[in-house]
Amino acid sequence: MDARQLEILLIDDEDIVGKRLRPMLEKAGYQVEVFTSGREAIERLARKTFDIVISDVRIDEVDGLEVLAAVQQHSSRTKTIMITGFATLELAREALAKGAFEFIAKPFYPKDLKKVVDKAAAQLRQE
């Protein structure tokens, strides 16, 4: 993989999540696009390939597992990190079985999410 900035799509229906995480990720050298609508995010995924997708599991009319399926359909190399405030063991297993890179329960420390993003980025750079 080349040395270009990795691009992240961040999807969470809570506007504050994007406002808090975007600056941290940009400071770490990532390019970040934020969506609060799952439907709009899926439309964006149809037009652009992202390196990493961070998606809430519960978003408006489309859930995060639908986003995960859209990501996988569009690009097998994109790493998808699922985040949720409604974590259950079954949901985590389902997301991971469907190809999620990682599953993180809210609340979480932004630095912990950044570690997972950095791990995904390291794997992408080795491919």
Is there a contact between 38 and 14 (Cβ–Cβ < 8 Å)?
A: no
* Rounded Cα–Cα distance for residues 60 and 38 (Å): 6
Parse the chain into domains and list their residue ranges: 7-121
Residues 6 or more apart in contact with residue 90 via CB below 8 angstroms = none
Residues 6 or more apart in contact with residue 85 via CB below 8 angstroms = 58, 105, 106, 107
Average pLDDT over residues 48-67: 92
Q: Could you tell me the pLDDT band of residue 4, with boundaries at 50, 70 and 90?
A: low
Q: What is the pLDDT of residues 90-123, one digit of tens each?
A: 988 999 999 999 999 999 999 999 999 999 999 9
The structure's pTM equals 0.93
Q: What is the pLDDT of residues 65-75, one digit of tens each?
A: 999 999 999 99
Is 7-121 a domain of CATH 3.90.226.10?
A: no
